[in-house]
Amino acid sequence: DSGLEIPLLNANTGDRMTAIFDNVGLSVAPRHKEQLDWFFRDWRQNEIRAMAPETLGILADVIATARRQGWEGEVRMHSGYRSRKTNEQLRSRGIGAARNSLHIQARAIDFSLPGMDMETLHKLTADRATGGVGLYRSFVHVDNGPQRRWWG
């Protein structure tokens, strides 16, 4: 068994990769962790930070569940790691980035599953995630922080 293969598209850069997760515990295959950290980088500053394995595991669990329910396709990643500089730029433009966003700690991912509406994805994610889950117009936010739910 080769594990859970998840095709990813970075909505900002057009980068594509297939992440391979171990089926047990949904951890990232070690040979892919460095590539995955690059994929989730702050593309505005070209800065890389190691993504929290717990957050990646939550994402993999959500995708595995979506597939069991019949969803197929490529996961669209809207935001992963964000440097403090990028986060402040977004805040100054009125984009609802939290001052101490978990994106700054590489512990949050904003994503969508093309073909699945946001409300369905939000409910699916909220049912699976132990941390924060936020619903936005074009993506769902997930992180490995304290459990909380919000609508952005």
Per-residue pLDDT of 48-57, as tens digits, reads 999 999 999 8
User: At a CB cut-off of 8 Å and minimum separation 6, what does 31 contact?
Assistant: 20
> Average pLDDT, whole number, for the chain?
92
> What share of the chain in percent tops pLDDT 70?
94
Query: Does residue 87 have a pLDDT over 90?
Result: yes
Contact partners, residue 86, CB within 8 Å, separation at least 6: 42, 44, 45
Helical packing angle, 118-128 and 53-68, nearest 10° = 120
Q: What was the pLDDT predicted at 1?
A: 52
Summarised one tens digit per residue, pLDDT across range 120-152 is 999 999 999 989 999 999 999 999 999 999 998
Rounded to two decimals, what is the model's pTM?
Answer: 0.93
Contacts of 91 (CB under 8 A, 6+ apart): 97, 99
Measured between alpha carbons, how far is 125 from 37 in angstroms, rounded to an integer?
Answer: 22
Looking at residue 97, its pLDDT comes to 81
